[in-house]
């Protein structure tokens, strides 16, 4: 699929078919995250692939009780570690969030190219997701996404975005 078509038609999918995700597709999606850029190439991230139905339900509960998340055949949890340097002079040890977000963006765009749906979940309780998956105390959850084939709707261009003139200014 052509790159600009991928970014134009990526949507937040909130309903998934039970169809399994082919391992080759999953691997390509995870590879897209792996090769993402990061500050000083530290790659201070980890991606947990949750296939177990009970674990998916637990993660969904930790995401504001949004049960539809656990209905996807896979849930991916992206984590990172605090770092001893600051970006922009103000981000401090939490600047790892930027690196994980870059990798997660590449993951969701690769998923779209594979015909798979995602929905970037920001409504989660860090400690509860970590508890559900038995994650170490020094890791922090940055994002969660279900991953699977869309059940309703599809991939269409979003026309409700602001015009370029509203968000770009030459100085």
pTM of structure: 0.94
Mind listing the pLDDT tens digit of every residue in the chain (171 residues)? 899 999 999 999 999 999 999 999 999 999 999 999 998 898 999 999 999 999 999 999 999 999 999 999 999 999 999 988 777 888 888 889 999 999 999 999 999 999 999 999 999 999 999 999 999 889 999 999 999 999 987 787 878 889 999 999 999
**Tokens 């959850």, residue located:** 141
- Structural domains for the chain: 3-153 (3.40.109.10)
Write the CA distances from 25 to 54, 59, 68, 112, integer angstroms: 23, 23, 22, 11
String of DSSP letters for 54-97 = HHHHHHHHHTTT-GGGGGSSEEEEEEEE--SS-STTT-GGGGHH
Question: What does residue 145 show for φ and ψ, rounded to 5 degrees?
Answer: -145, 140
Query: Token pair for residue 37?
Result: 């850029």
């Amino acid at each position: 699929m052509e790159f600009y078509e991928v970014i134009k038609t990526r949507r937040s999918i909130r309903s998934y078919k039970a169809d399994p995700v082919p391992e080759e597709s999953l691997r390509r999606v995870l590879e897209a995250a792996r090769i993402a850029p990061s500050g000083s190439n530290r790659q201070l991230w980890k991606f947990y692939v949750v296939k177990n139905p009970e674990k998916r339900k637990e993660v969904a509960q930790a995401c504001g009780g949004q049960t539809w998340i656990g209905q996807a055949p896979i849930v991916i949890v992206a984590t990172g570690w605090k770092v001893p340097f600051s970006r922009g002079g103000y981000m401090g040890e939490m600047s790892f969030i930027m690196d994980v977000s870059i990798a997660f963006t590449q993951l969701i765009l690769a998923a779209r190219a594979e015909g798979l749906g995602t929905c970037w979940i920001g409504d989660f309780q860090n400690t509860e997701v970590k508890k559900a998956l038995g994650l170490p105390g020094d890791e922090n959850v940055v994002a969660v996404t279900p991953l699977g084939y869309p059940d309703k709707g599809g991939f269409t261009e979003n026309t409700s975005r602001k015009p370029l003139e509203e968000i770009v200014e030459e100085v």
